[in-house]
Amino acid sequence: MRGWLFALAMMVAAPAQAAQPWMILPPTPTLPRADVSGTAPVNGIRIWYAEFGKGPPVLLVHGGLANADYWGLQVRALSARYRVIVMDSRGHGRSTRDAAPFGYDLMASDVIGLLDYLKISKVALVGWSDGAIIGLDIAMHHPERLSKLFAFAANYDPSGVSDIAHSPVFTAYIARAGREYARLSPTPKDYARFVAAITAMWNSQPRWIRADFQRISVPTWIVDADHDEAINQDQPVAMAKWAPGAGLLIEPDVSHFAFLQDPVQFNRDVLHFLERR
């Protein structure tokens, strides 16, 4: 009896086990004070952008439903060595959109248009989710505009995306993105239609095959997380195998939001990639 009471007391006294990093959605960071910011007229819309630091240019492209603020921790880590540019993709954050359906080719064209506006001939691109897909699209069709590509959490076909409906982290993210949209967007009450339009793109794009990846000639890392809620594990493995010379990196103990959940690990990997010759 005494031993049982002792065991019970120890169970009561033990602190509750902390949630694993991949089960948590940390707060959205803030961006530091920009050296330059504004909106660029691109493809009939206006793309919001901001720049930080000096050095070789690096463009950070966020994921679907998000905005450039999500890169706040990466901007702080990179801007001491690089000219870091962030942007809000069309219809996201502070950028506008028109009636054209969302599509990765179009959004890649927006990136090219922003680079032209900023008079940047070639840039290293770090993309998350939709941003990674946009980066891959550019690598396939406009390789002369990229010096390197760090593509985190991309898929090559809609069948490679898991059902996120039962993911508490994604549920929290979609709700948070709605609040941020209402605060930042030029059309703050249009979130439901915006989500529907983005979802239509996710359900139909991209549809790439091996031959598409064999066109990639820029130094590329295909990166994902070992607990990614959205991307099936076969996707990064196949893409890294198909793209000539591409590296494959699976970050441990993180999910689709690795850059928030373990920014030290994510930033170290990005810096290592950027500094490789």
Give DSSP secondary structure letters for the chain.
-HHHHHHHHHHHHSPPPPPPGGG--PPPP-----SEEEEEEETTEEEEEEEESSSSEEEEE--TT--GGGGHHHHHHHTTTSEEEEEPPTTSTT----SSPP-HHHHHHHHHHHHHHTT-S-EEEEEETHHHHHHHHHHHH-GGGEEEEEEES--SSGGGB---TT-HHHHHHHHHHHHHHHHH-SSTT-HHHHHHHHHHHHHH-----HHHHTT--S-EEEEEETT-SSB-THHHHHHHHHSTT-EEEEETT--TTHHHH-HHHHHHHHHHHHH--
Per the CB < 8 A criterion, the answer to whether 79 and 44 are in contact is no
The answer to whether residue 18 is domain-embedded is no
Q: Among residues 117, 164, 147, which one has the least CA distance to residue 275?
A: 147
Q: Are 166 and 176 in contact (CB under 8 A)?
A: no
Instruction: Identify the band that residue 85 occupies on the pLDDT scale cut at 50, 70 and 90.
Output: very high
Nearby residues of 276 by Cβ (< 8 Å), 6 or more positions away: 219
* Residue 7 belongs to a domain: no
Helix axes 191-204, 168-184, angle to 10 degrees: 130
CATH, residue 208? 3.40.50.1820
Query: For residue 11, what pLDDT band results from cuts at 50, 70 and 90?
Result: very low
CA–CA distance, 205 with 113 (Å, rounded to integer): 21
Identify whether the C-beta of residue 126 lies closer than 8 Å to the C-beta of residue 270.
yes
Overall domain count for the chain = 1
Average pLDDT, the chain: 94
Share of the chain above pLDDT 70, in %: 94
104-117 and 130-141 are packed helices; what angle lies between their axes, rounded to 10 degrees? 80
pTM of the model: 0.94
Q: pLDDT band at residue 15, thresholds of 50, 70 and 90?
A: very low
Q: Which pLDDT value is given to residue 16?
A: 45
Range of the domain at 38: 28-275
State residue 18's pLDDT score. Answer: 73
Cβ-based burial of 174 (10 A; exposed 0-12, middle 13-18, buried ≥19):
middle
Provide the pLDDT confidence category of residue 277 given band limits of 50, 70 and 90: confident
Q: Note whether residue 1 is domain-resident.
A: no
**pLDDT digit string, tens, across residues 192-228:** 999 999 999 999 999 999 999 999 999 999 999 999 9
Q: Is 14 within the bounds of a domain?
A: no
61 residue type, one letter: V
> Is 4 within the bounds of a domain?
no
15 against 230, higher pLDDT:
230
21 in a domain, yes or no? no
Q: Does the residue 265 lie in any domain? A: yes
Q: Is the pLDDT of residue 60 over 80?
A: yes
What average pLDDT score do residues 24-46 get? 98
